[in-house]
Structure 1
Amino acid sequence: MSVNAESDCLRTALTQLLGCRYPIVSAGMGGPARSELAAAVSAAGGFGLLGMVREVPELIEREIAAVRAATPCPFGVNLIPCATEPALFAAELDMCLAARVPALCFFWDVVPDAVKRAKDGGAIVLYQVGSLADALAAQQAGADAVIVQGIEAGGHVRGRTGLLTLLPEVVQKVRVPVVASGGIATGGGLIAALALGASGVHCGTAFLATHESFAHDYHKERICEARAGDTVYTDLFAINWPPNSPVRVLANSVTAAAGGQLFGYHPDKLPREVIGHEDGRPLYLYSTDSPLRSTTGDLERMALFAGESSALVNARTSAAEVVERMVAEALQARRRIGA
């Protein structure tokens, strides 16, 4: 059997829904996941998501156009209702629907009205959740697929339990395709997720260090240097988000200074110490802003988002190479299991 024919075995309900070749979705990371990354993932056969959280409609319009100029392949846009001022979120959603993006991905609290508006506008809806209750709520609201996030994930973490337990629990109870997220950066992880009933995987850290990612080189280097146990689960980086919103980051001087007190921080009670700038905008210590290509300042003290899978990302490559490697590893794992 040829590699191309063999890779057809990776076609799932998710690839059918999204119109992509491989069941690999790149996370819509706010900041790093701009048009260059989303287009590269989609062109390689995966499904790229633009991370347009709290971005002005004009930027969203440009980024959507840039993806379409780079590839004819389908893609989506990630928005976060609860972390965005309502008027801005409405404007973001209006722009996406006016541009007729193929899919929209929402995250954190389930907002049925956002799902309805997206569906009424003709978009496929993915909803990233962290519990069975939220998965059922997203399905009830009309989501076409749910992304189940385990506590291993990087960035903002909705899940409170490990993916190996949460994923099969959700798969047993929902009817729509389920996508696994958290700690996955290899083809073996993809096969494991499929074995547990998922229709695909959703990867952030695996793509964060790629050439196309808009993350700062310092952030990419730290991910490639990371080993198992180098991430920290905390709500210390809280400014710009609702209270009680944990994140997973690479350990740095800020997490070290916190010692054993990694939780209990309220965004309104944290000091506003400027430690950098992004396109003229001040960045505060304890902010949820991660360093981007255009960021200046004390990068080491910023939120260096990374999942536990950072231990599996050891080199900076192209996004296409990540997709191709994961597919090759998945097929190898499938053969190994079959043998």
Structure 2
Amino acid sequence: MNQSALSTSICEILGCQFPILQAGMGGVARAQLAASVSKAGAFGCLGMVRESPALIRQEVDRVRTWTDRPFGVNLIPSATQPQLFQSELDECLRLNVPTLVFFWDVVPDAVKKAKDGGCTVVHQVGSAEQAIKAEAAGADIIVAQGVEAGGHVHGMVTSLVLLPQVVDAVSIPVVGSGGFGSGRSLVAALALGAEGIHCGTVFVATEESFAHDIHKQHLVDAGAQDTIHTDAFAINWPPHSAVRVLKSEVTAAIESKPFGHQSESIVRQQIAEEEGRPIYLMSTDSPLKSMTGDLNRLAMYAGQVCGQVNSVSPAETVIQRMMDEAATVIQSLGNKR
């Protein structure tokens, strides 16, 4: 089967060849990863949450040095100080970033400003209600994130349940997120009404990812049962913000009470640093190449799909593997008719 037959409406909207979106993971998704994903035919995204306009400019320029393919920038209004967020957004518009990806609560003013600036807007949500709000605000594409996803998780139900609910709730294209990282899961998402998939965990474990090698190796070693859903990593984000991370010696202490943690009650204990910036235990920082210290005790974001990650590979290999598998699955389904 020709892989071009798997092209969907989001490929036309975003300008990519394959209906695979790389999640804009803060810290992890820098220019090398985003550019490599876009060059390989999928859609790359820079994770610029709470970053300075100067870093955004640097990373956007680097992406454009490596590829002329379209890409996006991920920003999170509700997890960013308002003045910083406005400066981030202004810089993206000044740089003519083609697509902005928002997450968490829908902030209509942010969506409107992005649209008025000529951007395509992708909004990641965790419920049908939030999807409806995002569409009403002007979003072009919805990413529906199930609870099995890694990193910050806004929803409470699985992708299998959430995805068709969101597809039925809105009239714009929907992309599945959470548990997707293979060609088989791409076909499953299409069967549920999605126009593509949004992947994070499988791209953390790539050669181009800015994640520290410690994080990548833990992903390779982990099984699907080795994650925990918790709000214990609370420093730096709004209250009651759940994440999914790999289990560790740190999470062992909170497994009996994974929820109900408050940022203000956590004693700031520095366990690492990044170019002079202190990194605290139970913060939302994950281990990056630029960090030193006791990195094994930081939040190692991972979705339940980590059980399918068996090696650290180039991003292009990951994408081609997914597309080859999707084509094979569709062919085999046709043969069973």
Distance 2:17 2:72 in 1: 15
* C-alpha distance in structure 2 between counterparts of 1:37 and 1:309, whole Å: 19
Deviations 1:133-172 (A, max 9, x none): 0000000000000000000000000111000010001111
Q: Structure 1: where are the runs of 5+ without partners?
A: none
- Deviation string for 1:178-225 (max 9, x for gaps)? 000001110000000011000010000010010000000000000001
Give the letter for the 2:230 counterpart: T
SS in 2 for 1:219: helix
Structure 1 position 148 matched with structure 2 position 144: yes
1:292 alignment partner in structure 2 = 288
> Which residue pairs with 1:111 in the alignment?
107
SS of the residue corresponding to residue 78 of structure 1 reads: strand
Deviations 1:88-118 (A, max 9, x none): 0000000000000110000000000000000
The one-letter code matched in structure 2 to 1:32 is: V
For 1:259 and 1:117, how far apart are their aligned partners in 2? 41
Aligned length: 335
SS at match of 2:142: strand
Letter in 2 for 1:94: D
Q: Does 1:260 align with 2:245?
A: no
Alignment match of 1:46 (pick from 39, 42, 45) = 42
Map of 1:28 onto structure 2:
24
What SS class does the counterpart of residue 258 from structure 1 fall into?
Answer: coil
Within 5 Å, give how 1:36-115 maps onto structure 2: 36-115=32-111
Matched, 1:246 2:242: yes
C-alpha offsets along residues 261-283 of structure 1, whole Å, 9 cap, x if unaligned? 11110111111000000111001
Say whether residues 1:126 and 2:122 are aligned partners. yes
Of 290, 300, 306, 1:304 maps to 300
Aligned mates of 2:254, 2:233 — CA distance in 1: 11
Unaligned runs of 5+ in 2: none
Identity %: 56
Deviation at 1:259, TM superposition (A): 3.4
Post-superposition shift, 1:300?
1.2
In structure 2, the partner of 1:15 is 11
Does residue 195 (structure 1) correspond to residue 191 (structure 2)? The answer is: yes
Q: Distance in 1 between matches of 2:309 and 2:70?
A: 26
Give 1:299 deviation, angstroms. 1.1
Of residues 202, 212, 229, the one that matches 2:208 is 212
Q: Any idea what the Cα deviations from partners look like across 1:274-315, whole Å, max 9, x if unmatched? A: 000011100111000001001111111100000001000110
Distance in 1 separating the partners of 2:278 and 2:76:
22
Q: Distance in 2 between matches of 1:174 and 1:13?
A: 15
Q: Which letter maps to 1:96?
A: C
CA distance in 2 between counterparts of 1:228 and 1:209 reads: 15
Are 2:223 and 1:237 equivalent residues in the alignment?
Answer: no
Does structure 1 residue 162 correspond to structure 2 residue 189?
no
Letter of the 2:87 partner, please give it. A
The 2-side partners of 1:294 and 1:93 are apart by: 25
TM-score by length of 1: 0.98
Deviation of residue 257 (structure 1)?
Answer: 1.4
Aligned mates of 2:43, 2:275 — CA distance in 1: 29
- TM-score by length of structure 2 reads 0.99
Match of 2:312 in 1: 316
Q: Which residue of 2 aligns with 1:135?
A: 131
Q: State yes or no: 1:226 paired with 2:184.
A: no
